[in-house]
Each structure stands twice: as structure tokens, then as C-alpha cells.
Amino acid sequence: MDTNLPESWRRHLAAELDAPWFRQLSEFVDAERAAGPVYPPAGEEFTALRLTPYDKVRVLILGQDPYHGPGQAHGLAFSVRPGVRPPPSLANIFKELKSEIGCTPPGHGSLEHWAKQGVLLLNAVLTVRDGEPNSHKGRGWERFTDAVIRAVAAKTDPVVFVLWGGYAAKKEALIGPPHFIHKSAHPSPLSASRGFFGSTPFTIINRELERTGNAPIDWCLPRL
């Protein structure tokens, strides 16, 4: 597994990248790829870290597991490649964006526009076997991504952490002052109507960014 991370992240994650357990994780992922399709494709496991350097992180949105269908996952939580139909959770995010701040769905599901503005779109697990959600859970990714969350939480400049759903909410223990935590239901079809729709996450995030002297995020995705 290619672990050529940007230097800004490598400085903060060196202890994890050099640890025996991370080498075991890397060997597991390589073996899984040798046995069959694994998503995202090799070399894209760390897209979120590559698109959003450590010193640029202003918002962290935490997902759980990559999409497990062909051509969907590309290393950003909730995002899919251009040309791929947005899965249900992402479609619900677009519905909230439309009702909350009037963003017209862009005709694609790529969230790179957010990542390049300092929104770290981090999944807790960074790979998955084709057609088997959570198939790489408990193999070591959570230990690595917890280290990413701790590294962001160590920043002295305030960051907005977005924890959608019960799984993400458990990570609150890793975060402390001076950061802001926004929690709500997950945007999946099972829970979106029970606290995600109407929770105004994008307004809340921008309000908090502006309160701490940061520029707001342009949430409306451009057409490609």
C-alpha cells in the first residue's frame, strides 16, 4: 500500500506509519487487493489527506466506510467520482443543501470542491471489499484515523468537527477545546428524517468559522 503522504501530514502521523500494526494493516490491504476488488483503487486510500493539507484543515466531516460499489469511492467521505450517480446519503446531503442554502444539485457527486477549501472528508475506515460494507472494519484503520482526528484536535486554531450519526459521535472523546463539534443524525435514508434534515449543518459550520475569524466554506458545488 502506497503511504506517500504529504509532508504536512507525515510529520504528525510518523509514529503510526512506522508502527508494526500499520505495516500489518498495509499487508492486509495488499492481500485483499490481490484476492479481489477493493475500493477505493490502490493509491487513493489517502485522497482526503492529499487534497486537504494539515495546516489547511478548517472543518472535519467524519464518515464511516467507503462506498462498496464499483467506481464509487475515491478516497473522500461521502463523495463519488464525477459521472457516478450520488448514493442515497449524498443525495440527502444535496437535499439539505438545497433546502438550507439554496444550492442547486451540480449534476455530479464529487466533493473535491469542499476538500480544496479545507474540509477534511475523512472516513474512519479507508478501504472496503467489493460489495461487503464494513469488511475492513477492525483491521487497524480506526487506529490510524483516530490518530488523524487527534492530530487535527491538537491544532491551536479552532476547527469545526462534524459528527453525523452514532458511530461518528463516539469520536467526540478525541476532541477538546478550542474546537466546535456539530452532531446530528446521519444523512442515510434510515436516519435522515430523524434529525439530519433541517439540522442546518452548513449554516452552523459557516457561522462558527466566521465567529472565529475564518472565511466561510462555499458549499455550492460547481458544475463540471
- Report the CATH number that the domain containing residue 107 is assigned in CATH: 3.40.470.10
35 in a structural domain: yes
Number of domains in the chain: 1
pLDDT of residue 4: 82
Helix axes 7-17 and 141-153, enclosed angle (nearest 10):
130
Over residues 98-126, the pLDDT tens digits come to 999 999 989 999 999 999 999 999 999 99
Confidence of residue 133 (pLDDT cuts 50, 70, 90): very high
* CA-based radius of gyration for the chain: 17
CB 61 within 8 A of CB 122: yes
Q: What mean pLDDT comes out for the span 167-185?
A: 96
User: How many angstroms separate the first and last alpha carbons of the chain?
Assistant: 30
Q: Residue 59: which domain range? A: 7-212
The answer to whether position 122 is within a domain reads yes
DSSP code at position 86: P
The reply to whether 65 belongs to the active site is: yes
pLDDT band at 2 (very low <50, low <70, confident <90, very high): confident
CB 121 within 8 A of CB 219: no
pTM score: 0.97
In a domain, 224, yes or no: no
- Is residue 90 in some structural domain? yes
**Over residues 24-35, mean pLDDT:** 97
Query: In this structure, how many other beta carbons lie within 10 angstroms of the beta carbon of residue 32?
Result: 19
Distances (CA, A) of 83 to 79, 80, 126, 131: 12, 8, 22, 20
- The residue behind cell 434529525 is 195
Is 90 exceeded by the pLDDT of residue 216?
Answer: yes
Question: Is 130 among the domain residues?
Answer: yes
How does the average pLDDT of the chain come out, rounded?
96
Residues present in the chain in total: 224
Measure Cα distances from 110 to 57, 114, 151, 192, 200 in Å. 18, 9, 26, 20, 21
Instruction: Examine residue 2 and state whether it is found in any structural domain, yes or no.
Output: no
Mean pLDDT confidence for 184-201: 96
Of these residues, 2, 30, 55, 65, which one is catalytic?
65
Q: Please report which confidence band the pLDDT of residue 3 belongs to, taking 50, 70 and 90 as the band edges.
A: confident
Q: Count of CB atoms within 10 A of residue 151's CB?
A: 16
Residue 222 domain flag: no
